[in-house]
Chain A
């Protein structure tokens, strides 16, 4: 169990460029979540997968954001035509099935700075 892994950890991009973040959940966790956290705030839910199915999306997830989880393993979060307001830490989390399914484990996040 190596924990939730996120890459890249830091990304600086120019406004208007596209960026993609990758998340590798804890092995055999079938639930995967994306959150966004800005300085001084708590994480805000973006979207959630159970296996490869995207079951819930927040209103925060504009049409410039897309998340995928092919084959129910790793996930990617793509932001198209980045804006300065997209600057934040993007957190991935995963959760196992079954009786311990309530515990959500977070990765260390991917920092995005849009300049």
Chain B
């Protein structure tokens, strides 16, 4: 059962453009939504995260938009750069004690072209 659905599977964006990756979740117990960036051969690194009590969080060029009623959230990368080329994973987690595992989406391979 895939609890977090991510799209698109791959994305090509021109340098300077906006990259948008979308995720949808099913489990209403989820209350923490991080995005991870992963380069080939490396482990995932936390990029930005949001809780459902806010609709948007911005850190530098990265913004998460969150729609609680639709159970959807998205990552926007402004002014995309070649160094942003990586695989991005959305994830969701319930912070209730004893149920703290992250459930990941299937990933989006982002390529930024000059």
Contact = CB atoms under 8 A, between A and B. Distances in A.
B57 interface: no
Given A42-B89, A43-B89, A56-B98, A103 B46 contact: yes
Nearest to A95: B100
A48 B101 contact: yes
Contact of B44 (A44, A91, A103): A91
A12 interface: no
A104 B107 contact: no
Nearest to A110: B43
The interface centre, meaning the residue of A4, A31, A48 with most chain B CB atoms within 10 A of its CB, is: A48
Contacts of A33: 101-102
Contacts of B49: 102-103
A91 B107 contact: no
B100 A42 contact: no
A105 B101 contact: no
Contacts of A56: 98-101
Contacts of A58: 101
Contact of A45 (B34, B44, B89, B102): B102
A72 interface: no
Contacts of A93: 43
Contacts of A42: 6, 89, 91, 104-107
A104 B102 contact: yes
Nearest to B102: A104
Given A102-B93, A103-B49, A43 B98 contact: no
B46 A105 contact: yes
Contacts of A4: 43
List the 7 closest A-B pairs by CB distance, nearest first: A42-B104, A106-B43, A45-B101, A108-B43, A106-B44, A109-B43, A42-B89
Interface of B: 6, 32, 34, 36, 41-46, 49, 89, 91, 93, 95, 98-107
